[in-house]
Structure 1
Amino acid sequence: MDGRAVVVTGAGRGLGRAYARHLAESGASVVVNDVDAAEAAAVAAGITAAGGTATASDHDVSADADGLVELCLSAYGRLDGLVNNAGLYHEALPWEEDPARMRRTVLVNVLGALNCQAAATRVMGEGGAIVNASSGGMFGFPQVSTYAATKGALAALTYSSALDLDERGIRVNAVSPMAYTRMTASALGRSSTLDSPPLAGIEDRPPEAIAPLVTFLLSDLAAGITGQFLRFDGQKVSVVTTSAFTDHPNVTADEWTPQALAAAFDGPLAAGLQPYGMTRREPARKSRHTRAGP
Structure 2
Amino acid sequence: MSLDGKVAIVTGSGRGLGLAYARQLARQGAAVVVNDVDERAAADAVAAIQALGGRAVAVVAPVGPTETAQALVATAVESFGRLDILVTNAGVLRDTVLWKMSDDDFDTVVNVHLRGTFTTVREAVRHMRQAGEGGRIICIGSPTGQRGNFGQTNYAAAKAGIVGMVRTWALELKRAGITVNAVVPVAVTAMTATVPYFAAAVQAEEQGESVPAFFRHDLGFGTADDVAGLIAFLGSDSAEAVTGQVIGVGGDRIQIWTHPDAALTAYQEGGWSYDALVAAWPKEFAGALQSVGEHFPELPDEFRPAAP
TM-score scaled to structure 2, two decimals? 0.83
List per-residue Cα deviations over 1:22-46 (Å, max 9, x = no partner). 1111100000011112211110112
Measured at CA, do residues 83 and 141 of structure 1 come closer, stay the same or move farther in structure 2, by a change above 3 Å? same
For 1:251, the aligned partner's letter is Y
Q: CA deviation at 1:49?
A: 2.5
Aligned residue in 1 for 2:19: 17
Quote the residue 1:162 is aligned against.
170
1:260 corresponds, among 256, 276, 279, to: 276
The Cα of 1:185 is off from its aligned counterpart by: 0.8
TM-score by length of 1: 0.87
Give the SS at the match of 1:123. helix
Does structure 1 residue 185 correspond to structure 2 residue 201? no
- After superposition, the C-alpha distances for 1:79-123 in whole angstroms (9 at most, x for unaligned) are 100001001123211101121121010000000000001000001
Q: What is the correspondence of 1:1-294 to structure 2 with a 5 Å cutoff? A: 1-63=3-65, 64-124=68-128, 125-138=132-145, 139-186=147-194, 188-189=195-196, 199=198, 202-203=201-202, 204=211, 205-244=222-261, 248-279=264-295
Distance 1:218 1:174 in 2: 12
**Residue of structure 1 equivalent to 2:299:** none
Residue identity matched to 1:250: A
Superposition deviation, residue 270 in structure 1: 1.9
Name the stretch that deviates more: 142-151 or 265-274: 265-274
Contact 1:127 1:220 in 2 (8 A): no
Q: 1:243 to 1:108 in 2, by over 3 A?
A: closer
Quote the offset at 1:252 in angstroms: 2.8
Equivalent position amino acid for 1:67 in 2: A
Q: 2: distance between equivalents of 1:224 and 1:40?
A: 33
Deviation sequence 1:173-196 (CA, Å, 0-9, x none): 11111110112212x14xxxxxxx
Counterpart-to-counterpart distance in 2, 1:272 and 1:60 = 43
Runs of 4+ in 1 over 6 A off after TM superposition: none
- Whole-Å separation in 2 of the counterparts to 1:276 and 1:251: 26
Distance verdict in 2 for CA 1:235–1:127, change over 3 Å: farther
**SS of 1:102 mapped into structure 2:** helix
> Is the deviation greater in 143-152 or in 214-223?
143-152
2:79 aligned counterpart, secondary structure: helix
**1:248 Cα deviation from its structure 2 partner:** 2.4
How much does 1:201 deviate?
6.1
Q: CA deviation at 1:276?
A: 2.0
Indicate if the aligned counterparts of 1:171 and 1:226 stay in contact, CA closer than 8 A.
yes
SS, match of residue 210 in structure 1:
helix
Report the counterpart of residue 193 of structure 1 in structure 2. Answer: none
- Distance in 2 between the 1:275 and 1:200 partners? 26
Q: Is the 8 A contact 2:11 2:36 kept in 1?
A: yes
How many pairs align? 270
Query: Taking structure 1 as reference, are residues 201 and 224 closer, same or farther at Cα in structure 2, changes over 3 Å only?
Result: farther
**RMSD of aligned alpha carbons:** 1.8
The AA in structure 2 aligned to 1:171 is T
User: In the alignment, is the contact (CA less than 8 A) between 1:44 and 1:56 conserved in 2?
Assistant: yes
Q: Does the aligned pair in 2 maintain the 1:59–1:68 contact within 8 Å?
A: no
Identity, % of aligned pairs?
Answer: 38
Please identify, of 257-266 and 61-70, the stretch whose mean Cα deviation from structure 2 is larger: 257-266
Which range moves more in the overlay, 229-238 or 2-11?
Answer: 229-238
